[in-house]
Amino acid sequence: MKTDIDKVFKALADPHRRQLLDRLHADNGQTLGELCLDASMTRQAIAKHLGLLEAANLVVTVWRGREKLHYLNPVPIQEIYERWIHKYERHRVRALTDLTKALEEKCDD
């Protein structure tokens, strides 16, 4: 079984999907049709990408008649930060000194 956080990382791994999030970030609540304009792939391909983003809870959808509106959900991105990136930030300085020390020793040969 995939963890929630794994689904989010996987969803973010594709540049097209990140671009879709960017487009929703610029203009929230777009329909599938709108998100397909000026795209270099078929509607079905984009619908699949949106499906993955939805499964990762990065996008939430609302039906309005026959249109499906797509909204950005910023919560999982925030969780990636808090549960994963943040801990590396805390010890960032130590990791960097480890690294530079190792690289210096390398040059002492």
106 lines the binding site for DNA (CB under 7 A): no
Residues 6+ apart with CB under 8 A from 4: 56, 57, 76, 79
CA–CA dist 30, 97 (Å, integer): 46
Interatomic CA distance for residues 37 and 84, integer angstroms? 35
Q: Is residue 84 a contact point for a second copy (CB under 8 A)?
A: yes
Q: Cβ of residue 73: shortest distance to DNA, in angstroms?
A: 16
Rounded Cα gap, residues 109 and 77, in angstroms: 44
Kindly identify the residues of this chain, within the stretch 17-56, that bind DNA according to CB under 7 A: 31-33, 36, 41-45, 47-49, 52
Q: Among 38, 40, 44, 102, indicate the residue that binds a second copy (CB under 8 A).
A: 102
Binding residues for DNA (CB under 7 A) = 10, 13-14, 16, 31-33, 36, 41-45, 47-49, 52, 64-68
